[in-house]
Amino acid sequence: MTLKIRCCALNSDQGPHFPALQEAGFEVLPGNRDRNFWDESTLISELDGCCAVIAGSEPYTRSVIEGCPYLRVIARTGVGFDAIDLAACDEHGVVVTTTPGVNHHSVAEHTIALLMGIARGFPDQDQRVRTGNWKRIERPRVMGTTIGVVGLGRIGRAVVTRARGLGMNVLGFEPYPDNEFCREWDVELTDLDSLLSRSDYVSLHNPLTPESHKMMNAERFAKMKAGSVFINTARGGLVDEPALIEALKSGHLRAAGLDVFDVEPLPTDSPLTQMNNVLLSGHVAGLDIESQRDTLTMAAETIIGLRNGEWPSHCIQNLKNVTDWSWTK
């Protein structure tokens, strides 16, 4: 049977993975961008006969896994895999892989872009100039303020180094911290409630798990410092969106910068789209030219390695303690 791979991730229809996979004997198929991959039956149809998929944030539910009997690898571009039913993949021997260590600089830069945009009054200032309604509004300087970084993995640490470069004080919440890094970059480790109450900016960089689902709820937003800013480039499921909207409407939060949402794409009738103190982007924080090149290369190398009997454990997120997996079921 032909070794077919479908490219479902956005921006994956061309790149270094194509020649690498083709040279290894795979047939690489671009994704049909006119189709809705968030619909189970559509995704199953798109993956018909495929042994692997270069996956984006589209959901790989149990129904999708069971509807794709030839599927051996879901190669997720990026590090998040919360949209994949790992239990179903374990049962059917489908390997779930990610591309760690390739997009943390991109996400960190995007986080700082949102922070600085908000700090200098965007998008409100942009819209005022466009309509001829100029207004000079003084805002707090970023230097000397405090950022609370929730999660100090690769991305959180990359945010820390940039925030320190801006002259910010840094608080960190991390269950398993790199203490040497924290000492080097003068990060004060603290509990989450203290971080929320003391930070002028709070930025999420922790994974979405059953325990962290909706961790930022009404109670936690109430604990944030009055007039502070909330930034999320991690996962939309970490946030109770109605609670965030209420905190913004009430004025308790000054603003928010959001790249991820509970429902994606963000519905156009969401109140977030009508707020001039909210800066929005469409789940693109991890996307720059360098990270895109490297993530597609790593995804291809991982698939090829698995096909050749290798087990790149640093990229594999399921089938723990499995020792007898093979490409042919």
Is residue 33 among the annotated active site residues?
no
Q: How many whole angstroms from its chain centre is CA 129?
A: 32
Radius of gyration of the chain from its Cα atoms, rounded to whole angstroms: 21
User: Which of 66, 198, 264, 293 is the catalytic position?
Assistant: 264
Is residue 252 among the annotated active site residues?
no
Is residue 283 among the annotated active site residues?
yes
DSSP 287: -
- Beta-bridged to residue 188, according to DSSP, are 171
User: Which of 76, 235, 254, 307 is the catalytic position?
Assistant: 235
User: Which of 241, 283, 301, 307 is the catalytic position?
Assistant: 283
- Whether cis (ω within 30° of 0) applies to the bond prior to 271 is no
Q: Which residues are tagged catalytic?
A: 235, 264, 283
